[in-house]
Structure 1
Amino acid sequence: MTEQVKRYKTLWLSDIHLGFKDCRAEYLLDCLNHIECDTIYLVGDVVDLWAMSRTLYWPASHYEVLRTLFRKANSGTRVVYIPGNHDEPFRDYVGHIFGPIEIRKEAVYTTLKGKRLLMFHGDCLDEHMQLSRWENLVGDAAYDLLLFLNRWANFFRRRFGHHYWSLATYIKQRIPNARQVIDVFESAAVQEAKKRGLDGVICGHIHQPALKDIDGLLYCNDGDWIENCTLLAEGEHGELELLQWTETRQMLARVGEPAAKPVADVLPLRRVG
């Protein structure tokens, strides 16, 4: 049986964090192998140099993600890389081409429906958060705990045959202070697009996938590959979709399975257009 391949015009991926132990590289590989597109935008934190400076962690799946991106770029897919804060040293090469991959500080994307969207990673908005050093330290510790709980929760879910589910995101959305920080970030992002006379923004950084209207502008956050395994995609008719790659969709298709059970599929969280 031929495995189903999804076709999109453009994909946005960010916060992959290769080199970090909680990176879900195997899910991203499955995604890249079963989606075709004309353009891929990597919206920051592709490689986690912060994590690698503390502990060298680079399994084969992380290498394969980079190899697959380069293979796609060499095969005709346009790949544009906008570095984030965890891979900030690559900003020194903005304006250059790294092999077949373009490196940009930020960019403006025009959808098939004529919407002009500002693209940046999002760490430029950190000044709006106004968190104290103590709050940052507590936040980092709490996030590490969330990822620890998320890791073990999904270990047991796999053992019982359940698909991947982000416990970390579930908890985060129910903490008032965390929700407030997310709201401030989203508002600041659309205000930056508004100041430039654009129709919306595409970013990452806060690991909170979203596709929604804020004050008449489009806010798109493609999420991450630590907690949520999400990406943003533009279809061939100009519709924008926030997609979640789930564990239940990544198993190899068996010979003779009906076409309704592809090896991998995407679950649309939200669609615009």
Structure 2
Amino acid sequence: METRQRYKTIWLSDIHLGFKDCRADYLLDFLNSVECETLYLVGDIVDLWALKRSFFWPASHYDVVRALFAKASSGTRLVYIPGNHDEPLRDYVGHILGPIEIKREAIHTTLNGKRLLMFHGDCLDEHIRLRKWEHLVGDVAYDFLLFLNRWANVLRNRFGHNYWSLATYIKQRIPNARNVISVFEEAAVKEASRRGLDGVICGHIHQPALKNIKGLMYCNDGDWIENCTLLGETYQGNLELVQWTEHQTLLQSMADNGGPAKAQLLPLRRAG
């Protein structure tokens, strides 16, 4: 009999269905291996920007949508918080699309009573204050990074190696990129603090993280373009940042009382 890993709550964002670099294969394996009570989709699930440039919708992307609806049909609460790449769905905030609730943002209360603000994260772009030319250069450079990432992993796969994000490796070594990430993280927890909440859960910047910033919990569930990561809340009251590729790796965990994050790099058992 198949056994599935169970979480109380799961957060996914920045899947970018309709974009050629979406790792739908890994996401499908995850969705078919895990169960939860509530699944939050924290923006950029469908990449309408990419679909407008060039239509791309392989069978695996359709299968992801079907798997999400199957979870909702089997009793999982599904909440969709649109991002900037699927912004038109914000017109339906407050409505229910089939089994899916559409919200602009939300507040999640953890098992230990911590209240966490949830939004995609593009609302914080004004804090980064990049000039227009920097945005353009950044878009071109990021597309090139994804091109390198794609072909690096084609070669790695050919030689029997697991997935590895070259894009993230390079990005983390560019001082300006690190500064942008830091500014974004501090702006996110500042907004949670302004509202009297205990922390924030977001996506947007494709930089998974689980940490304590100025006494508040900062949780970024990452993406399925570069990192293939998710955030999960266990029934023991912990938050876990997990990478799901050929092997499942627990990157960081944090007691949901806001205790310090600790990188563990422990492999998780594959369901099945």
Q: Would the TM-score normalized by the shorter structure come out above 0.5?
A: yes
For 2:26, the aligned partner's letter is Y
- Displacement after TM superposition at 1:29 (Å): 0.3
2: CA distance between counterparts of 1:21 and 1:246? 17
C-alpha deviations, 1:12-46, integer Å up to 9, x for none? 00000000000000100000000011010000000
- Displacement after TM superposition at 1:113 (Å): 1.1
1: CA distance between counterparts of 2:148 and 2:205? 19
Who is 2:251 aligned against?
269
2: CA distance between counterparts of 1:239 and 1:33? 22
Per residue, is there more strand in 1 or in 2? 2
2: CA distance between counterparts of 1:8 and 1:135? 40
For 1:1-273, list aligned pairs within 5 A.
Answer: 2-247=1-246, 249=247, 266-273=248-255
1: CA distance between counterparts of 2:186 and 2:204? 14
1: CA distance between counterparts of 2:212 and 2:141? 30
State TM-score, norm by structure 2.
0.93
2: CA distance between counterparts of 1:31 and 1:74? 18
- Displacement after TM superposition at 1:4 (Å): 4.5
C-alpha deviations, 1:109-167, integer Å up to 9, x for none? 00001110000000000000111110000000100010000000000110011111100
Q: Percent identity?
A: 75
1: CA distance between counterparts of 2:39 and 2:237? 15
* Shift in alpha-carbon separation, 1:22–1:203, aligned structure 2, 3 A: same
SS in 2 for 1:244: strand
2: CA distance between counterparts of 1:122 and 1:195? 16
2: CA distance between counterparts of 1:130 and 1:225? 26
2: CA distance between counterparts of 1:86 and 1:164? 25
Q: How many residues align?
A: 255
SS in 1 for 2:108: strand
2: CA distance between counterparts of 1:41 and 1:164? 25
Superposed CA RMSD = 0.7
Name structure 2 gaps, 5 residues minimum: 256-272
For 2:250, the aligned partner's letter is P
- Displacement after TM superposition at 1:246 (Å): 1.9
C-alpha deviations, 1:200-249, integer Å up to 9, x for none? 000000000000000000000000000000000000111000000022x3
State TM-score, norm by structure 1.
0.92
For 1:128, the aligned partner's letter is H
1: CA distance between counterparts of 2:146 and 2:4? 31
SS in 2 for 1:102: strand
1: CA distance between counterparts of 2:119 and 2:236? 24
For 1:46, the aligned partner's letter is I
* Shift in alpha-carbon separation, 1:229–1:184, aligned structure 2, 3 A: same
C-alpha deviations, 1:54-98, integer Å up to 9, x for none? 000000000010110001101100000000000000000000000
1: CA distance between counterparts of 2:237 and 2:249? 18
For 1:191, the aligned partner's letter is K
- Displacement after TM superposition at 1:3 (Å): 4.9
